[in-house]
Every structure is written in structure tokens, then in C-alpha cells.
Amino acid sequence: MPTPLTDPSLIARFAAITGAQNALTAASDIAPHLVELRGRFRGESPLVLRPADTEEVSAILRLAHETGTAIVPQGGNTGLVGAQTPSPGKGEVVLSLSRLNRIRSLDPVGQTMVAEAGVVLKQAQEAASEKGLLFPLSLGSEGSCQIGGNLSSNAGGTAVLAYGNMRQLCLGIEAVLPDGEIWHGLRALKKDNTGYDLRDLFIGAEGTLGVITAAVLKLFPEPAGHETIYAGVDSPEVALKLFRLAQDFCGPSLTGFELMPRIGIEFTTRHIEGVRDPLDAPHPWYVLIDISSGQSQEAARTMLEGLFVAADENGLIRDAAAAETGAQRQAFWTLRESMSWAQKPEGGSIKHDVSVPVAKVPEFLARADKAVLGAIPGARIVAFGHLGDGNIHYNISQPAGADTESFLARWEEMNALVHAIVLELNGSISAEHGIGQLKRDELAAIRSPVEMALMHRIKQAFDPRGIMNPDKVIASR
Amino acid sequence: MPTPLTDPSLIARFAAITGAQNALTAASDIAPHLVELRGRFRGESPLVLRPADTEEVSAILRLAHETGTAIVPQGGNTGLVGAQTPSPGKGEVVLSLSRLNRIRSLDPVGQTMVAEAGVVLKQAQEAASEKGLLFPLSLGSEGSCQIGGNLSSNAGGTAVLAYGNMRQLCLGIEAVLPDGEIWHGLRALKKDNTGYDLRDLFIGAEGTLGVITAAVLKLFPEPAGHETIYAGVDSPEVALKLFRLAQDFCGPSLTGFELMPRIGIEFTTRHIEGVRDPLDAPHPWYVLIDISSGQSQEAARTMLEGLFVAADENGLIRDAAAAETGAQRQAFWTLRESMSWAQKPEGGSIKHDVSVPVAKVPEFLARADKAVLGAIPGARIVAFGHLGDGNIHYNISQPAGADTESFLARWEEMNALVHAIVLELNGSISAEHGIGQLKRDELAAIRSPVEMALMHRIKQAFDPRGIMNPDKVIASR
């Protein structure tokens, strides 16, 4: 068990590592690091450290290990499960990686980039783009989330279908272990079968096994042609058929396939400035399809047209609009990416980030809707997401005019309802957001003792003193 | 330390689990399990067990754990680093997975297949193909290697460029832990961020952490169009330029890019029945390019033609032949896939399976050639492989007429020469074949103590009694 940090002389020793100006102790300086985006978790901490480089991270962890001080790594603080929030009353140090924000190198021939943990995702995307390359990870929070957090949460986003999640987008990492040792694993190799997969253990571990300080990221050729289509469809079943058709037709050129419900379009057009529905009439469901071609704009257009003809022959599309300009394309995606935030003005929203086998998405939606509406008549279900990955953000907005607090009081009850269906369909209760604090106990409840024991053994092997982000992912023992 | 199995009553207890007919104790029955393909390792074992299912595997491991008996899992016995060969004089049991050979299910809509460890790769490919789907893993040994071995070695092969290696082709696994517990991790999810990545720890662990008994494999739409081109080029530098062009031009439709030297074509056409050089004149180097289209044969052809025009404009290709029929396409690939075996009739061959960052392949080849020819004038270097992955099988055939034994005696010396260059280029000494026995001590010598310590801690956490495939990947402690 870690020792709560209260001793001023120990605080001073930590502060000496980063220098006083990067050791925040004033409550007002610390405050922004204690609350996460949705305000579900409120933490406490006596000290926020902002190291400049890997060596300072190493020195901090060495001291933490020696003194049994708990460390909570934090990136852009955009995580949705409370993994980056220090637990109240535990005297945990927040380790902000924001100053490790250099792109150490970019190899246009090898198509790789070495980025430090604190590099903001958008900055990484832009650095690639300047060389005519693509770093495909794309998230709603890309303007503030950081590469270290993306790695620690194995971030997904809208381009997973074609490019994979963060685990697939990373070739090697540099990490500081809980005892301060540095693991130099910055390999830029596409193939390397030399022992256990340490990289993928640190990725997705949410800072509980050590601190990722830098990574080799995979880059891709910027597509020469792009088409984005926004289409109205009858139902999730039809959307799934259209997905299969698009997958058969475009193969790996299918770079996005998102599902959205009518109510999501209504919320978004109502609350997000500048957003409008590209189609005149309303439709029950919508899909957003992204096609990329390495060859040319014409090739992408040809693919799009072929897909349209085939979809039409099969009666799959009610109406559709293709983006004619880059700005229009951006507008279509803004519609999709603001869907989560557009729920806020509608009152309380109970969130789920689940996945099921792709073919089971329609069944999941039908069963979950029935269960939720049975429990809360009038609940407004905004279920949207990455159909091509089987990943649905199954969000429930309160009935119009209902009391927000009493609605939100039913969060766990709704989670239990929805997750039970997910588990019956062999799905996941956290497709891309991770476990953090939010789902820790639920994970322990649904996973087999064998699997939980393995996770505890790994935690113990890497972090025997239990100082790394305690009580996140798995409970301290 | 495990206890050598000698006690006849304990042998009988193991045999009772599988039944006597699947517990081989006669030397002649055991013999085929003791030698690997290249004959570099010769093992010993008192007992080969052939369990029928996961439950029998579990019972075997429970007894092994209780009695401290070492277990060496074995699939198709095609591995090239001796991971599947029991150590001499240690009384280790060989656990053959060959009878776990069922395809438990195939979901054409979800595009997944649940295959047991003993399913032969070709069988898995054919099961997918019967449903119009593709399981893309493709290796020279696909007619006899097994899915369990493919997973345990994180197999690569010729389609990694577009589809990834085994780690990317597997969504979930079922594994028996060293104490006999079964981990039911057969999830068919594209996204699942719920805790540590146990799956990727078992994959590539070469049977040292437990026994993989089944896996959910990813399937893909069978491409509608295919083009395969065989082209003569001036040098690896030019081949790399051509690769970049093909990658830009075809994007993810580029499904293979192999490099071959002239001498490899000579050996192959000389020794492998039915193989001929598709081009009239000789060229210094060759590439084999595979293009797939989800749309149509015409689309693949259009891509090929566009690539040809661009390559020609840049003066990259000396001469080329495109496969006009499926049989021709097969013939081109046979030329490539028989390249390793075609060296055998030429005498001793010292092998390497290395990778470097893709852009460094020409530099690696130039430097390695110089070093090797400096040490062994007249050595015939057959360096071929997956240029698009930076993975070169750098094989050295003995000088014509040289004494095979004294040439092969220089194996370690050549390894040291070649691997030193690989490491200077931040490459890997085992790109796809793994570590096994062959490279265990070398791995320990080149990796940092930090990394080796992490691997030992994982081994200890999973297999505290050290009974799983001892002394493979890392040395027993």
C-alpha cells in the first residue's frame, strides 16, 4: 500500500526534481488536474509534477518507489473513465506529461514518427501532414488529448476500421518502470518476434504498470482521393447490410463507417453551432461512410459511384449526400463527432461504450432499447458509433423535462441492464474508453477469477509496491 | 526447476488422461517429434501426449504442475528456432496439439472463425475460402504448420504488409495456464479495452506461458480482383523506390512486395521441379508485387497498369511479367516460396531472419554482404524476403565446392557479423521466426537488463514452477 504524501520535506524532494515552477502545490494550480471532462470524478492531490523529460520522470518514479508514494500519470485529461484522476484522501502525486511534448524525429521514408507522451494528437497529425503523410488516429478530443493518454487507453476513434486502434498504430515505446528504470523500446520495426510483447502490456494499461514517455508511431501515405457520404437508412439491420456491401466493394479502401440515429441528428443540429442536416427529409437512421484511394480522386469517386449503384439496386439507401468539398466533408464529420456533446443541453445522459460482434449490433440495439424504455419510459436513446467495429456509444438522454438528478441516480441500474445484454452477446463493457475507476469493480465482477488473477499477477510483477495509479483498472490488493 | 519424468507410474498417470493410444512411449513413435525441419536440434522425451480437447490439455497441465513435470507444446513441428523440441536429458513431455483440429465455428457475417490449435493453416484457409472469405496468413509451410504454432510464434509470412502478422489476425484466444486452469478468452471483438492485453502475451510466447488451445481468427472479404507482377530491377535501392511508389499508388490494395536476388532465381529454377524464370534475360534483383482489389479484376488491372506507367516513367523496372492466370500467379509465388528450400542442394546454408526499418534494407544488404564476403570469399548470399516489412531472410550458401561441415561450423560467427549490423540499424535478430533455443542466449546478450528482467518477471508470474517449455525464449532461473 502506498503512503499518502503529506510530509513537506518529501514534497520538496519531489519538487527539486522538476524545479519549483513545475511542481504545483497551490490549490488553484492543482484544481484543473483533479476534475475530468464529464465531472464524474473529483480527485485530490497535494502535488502536481510537470517533468521536462524522460530522465525527470525516471527520477520522480525512483523517489516514489523508494518512499512508497503513489503516482497518477496524466495526459490531456480527456479520459472518460477517471483513470487520470487521483483518488481523494490518498495523497497521490499527479504526474503531468504535458511538457514531454516534442516530436523527436519523423522519418518520411520509413513512415514513422517518434513522439513524446505529451504531444497533443492534433500536433502529431499535423506533423505527419506536413510531410504528406497521415497519422490516422482521430478522436473528438484530438485538439487536447495526448499521445501518452492515447496509448495508455489504447485509443480507438473513427479510423479503426482501416488503420486499427493505438496498439496497431504504435511500433515501439519508451517507458519508465515503477522503480524508475527506463525501458528503451523505441523500435521502428514492422516485424520483431523477440520475446514477450511488453509493448502491448504498457499500451492500454492506463498508467498502472509504468509511464509511457515516448512512442514510435506508424504513418501512412496521405490518400490521394477521398469520398465521404452521408446517407439515410431504414434501420441498423439495413446499415449492417450496407456495411457488408461497402466492405466487399471497397475492401481496405473503406476507411470509416459510422452509425447515427435520427435523434442524434436532431440534438446536434439543435445545439451545435453551424451544424446542419445535409438531407432534406428526416430518416430513422444514418450512416457516414468514408472511402479513401491511394491512386486518385477519380478512383475514390468511381468506388463511391459503384457502391451507390449496388446499394440502390439492393434498396439499402433512402437518400444520400456526398461531400463535394473538403469543407463539406469536415461538416459531415463534425455532425458525427459532436454527437456526444450535443446531448448535454438535453439534460442528464447516461453513457455506455460497448462493443459486440459486428453482426450482432442490430440485435443489441433492439434488446437494449426495449430494456431501457421498459425501465425509463420516454428515455431518449442516442446510440451511435463505429458500426464497422461493432462499437456503439449507447447513450441515454433523460426523458424531456424529467428531473436530471433522479435520472442520473439510475446510472448503475442502466449500466447493469445494458451490460447484461452486451455480455449475453459476448461483447465488451468498454470498447475504447478503458476501465479506470468507472468500470473497475464491474470488470472484476464479470471477468473469470482466472483472468483477474492473471491481471493481478502482472500488476504485482511490474509494480510490487503498488504505487502506479492505484485502484485503477484493478483494485489494490 | 522441473523434475525429469522417469517414474513409470507417473507416465501411466499422464497416459491415463489421453488414453494409451494417444500417449506415445515407443522410441519409434516419439522420434518424429524430436527433430525439427532443418535438423539443427535433436531432442529427447519419454512421452508424447496427444490430447483430444482442451479439457485433456487442462488435466495434463494440472498433473504436470502438481508433479513439476516439464511440458513442451508442439504443433506442426515446422518451427525454425527449436521452440518445439524437448531438451535432451531433461525428461520433458511433448504435448502435441494435432488432435485439437476442429474448426469450432465460422461466422460469415461477423467474418470470424474459431479454430483449435491443431488446425493446419491450409485447412483454415480452405474453410474460409469455402465461404468466399480469406484467411490471409500465408507461409511456405502452410500445408503442415498449425494455428497454435502460428500463434505461439506470432507468424508473419507474405501477407503481413496488408493484413498484419498473427497478432493482428487474432481477436481472442483460449489458453490453458501452467496450473491447468483454462482462460476462456475467445472474444470476437474488434475493440475491447478491458484490462491488460493477456492475448498478446500468449501470442508469440512460444509456449512458455501456457498452451493456446483455440483462437478467434479474423477473416476478410476474398478480393474480387488480383494482379501479381514479377519484375527485374537494378538493385535493392530501386526496389525500395518501387515499393514506395506502389504503396503510394495502391495504398492498402498493395498486398505483397517481396524482394529476391538473381542467385535465388538460379537456385530455384535449378532445383525446384516445374519452376521457371518468367523473364527471358537475367536481372540483378527481382520483386514480386501483389495487388488486390475489393471491387473487380478490372480495378486491379487498372491499378497495375497505372503503377507500371509510373514505374516506367521513373525508370525503375528493367523488365516485368504480369500473371495472366491463377496458375501463373501460383507459379510466381512458388518461385518465391521455394527459395529457402532451393538452397539445400547447394550445400550448407547459414540462415538469418532479420528485420530493419524498411528504409534501411538497402544499407543493411550492402553492409552485410561486405562483411560476409570479407570473412568467407565466394560465399553465395541468398538474401530475400518481405521488403515491405523490412524483413530479410539473409541466407548464406557455402562457396561452390566448399566443405559443408567446416562452412556450417562458422554459423555463430556469421550470425555475430550479420546481427551486429542489424543492431546498429536498430533492427531485430528475429523478425518472424521467434527465439526458441536458437537465439535465446543471443537475445539475453543484446537486450537490456531492464527488458530481460521484465520478461523473467512475466514468466515467473505465469509459470512459477517453470514447467512450460523450459529454457525456450529465456533461460530458466
Would you state the cell numbers that stand for residue B379, as one nine-digit string?
560465399
Tell whether the model's pLDDT for residue B234 goes beyond 90. yes
* Confidence band for B267, pLDDT divided at 50, 70 and 90: very high
Residue from B158, B160, B194 whose CB has the most chain A CBs within 10 Å, to mutate? B194
Chain A nearest CA to B434, separation (Å): 5
- Higher pLDDT pick, B406 / B252: B406
- Residues from chain B contacting residue A198 (CB–CB below 8 Å): 451, 454-455
Which domains can be identified in chain A, with CATH numbers? Answer: 8-99 (3.30.43.10), 103-221 (3.30.465.10), 225-337 (3.30.70.2190), 347-424 (3.30.70.2740)
The alpha carbons of chain A give a radius of gyration, in whole angstroms, of 23
User: Any idea what DSSP says for residue B473?
Assistant: S
* Confidence band for B109, pLDDT divided at 50, 70 and 90: confident
Instruction: Give me the amino acid identity at A103.
Output: I
Give the nearest chain A residue to B112 (CA atoms).
Answer: A357
pLDDT of residue B39: 83
Phi-psi region of A20 (alpha: psi -120 to 50; beta: other; left: phi over 0): alpha
How do B47-49 and A112-116 pair as beta strands?
unpaired
* B98: Cα within 13 Å, side-chain hemisphere: 14
In sequence order, the β-bridge partners of residue B289 are: B229, B257
> Which of A112, A165, A196 comes nearest B205 by C-beta?
A196
Residue from B61, B137, B183, B191 whose CB has the most chain A CBs within 10 Å, to mutate? B191
pLDDT of residue A296: 86
Give the nearest chain A residue to B297 (CA atoms).
Answer: A249
What phi, psi does B362 have (nearest 5°)?
A: -60, -40
- Higher pLDDT pick, A156 / B252: A156
* Confidence band for B391, pLDDT divided at 50, 70 and 90: very high
Tell whether the model's pLDDT for residue B296 goes beyond 90. no
> Which of B164, B197, B295 comes nearest A303 by C-beta?
B295
pLDDT, averaged across chain B: 95
Tell whether the model's pLDDT for residue B340 goes beyond 90. no
- Could you give the angle at which helices A236-250 and A297-313 cross, rounded to 10 degrees? 140
Inter-chain contact B248–A221, Cβ cutoff 8 Å?
yes
Chain B nearest CA to A358, separation (Å): 6
CA angle B426, B427, B432 (to 5 degrees): 155
Inter-chain contact B358–A111, Cβ cutoff 8 Å?
yes
Chain B nearest CA to A393, separation (Å): 12
**What tens digit of pLDDT does each residue of B159-187 get?**
999 999 999 999 999 999 999 999 999 99
Portion of chain B with pLDDT greater than 70, in percent: 100
Inter-chain contact B167–A197, Cβ cutoff 8 Å?
yes
pLDDT of residue A298: 92
> Which of B195, B247, B455 comes nearest A195 by C-beta?
B455
Chain B nearest CA to A130, separation (Å): 16
- Residues from chain B contacting residue A61 (CB–CB below 8 Å): none
pLDDT of residue B253: 87
Residues of chain A with pLDDT under 50: none
Chain A nearest CA to B295, separation (Å): 5
Residues B451 and B438: their CA atoms lie apart, in Å, by 19
Residue from B152, B158, B193 whose CB has the most chain A CBs within 10 Å, to mutate? B193
> Which of B167, B358, B451 comes nearest A110 by C-beta?
B358
Residues with Cβ within 8 Å of B430's Cβ and at least 6 positions away in sequence, in order, are A192, A193, A194, B81, B353, B354, B439, B443
Inter-chain contact A432–B200, Cβ cutoff 8 Å?
no
pLDDT of residue A1: 86
For residues B103-121, average pLDDT = 95
Would you state the cell numbers that stand for residue A424, as one nine-digit string?
449475453
pLDDT of residue B89: 96
pLDDT of residue A158: 86
* Confidence band for B264, pLDDT divided at 50, 70 and 90: very high
Inter-chain contact A251–B294, Cβ cutoff 8 Å?
yes
Inter-chain contact B189–A461, Cβ cutoff 8 Å?
no
**What tens digit of pLDDT does each residue of B35-78 get?**
988 888 999 999 999 999 999 999 999 999 999 999 999 999 99
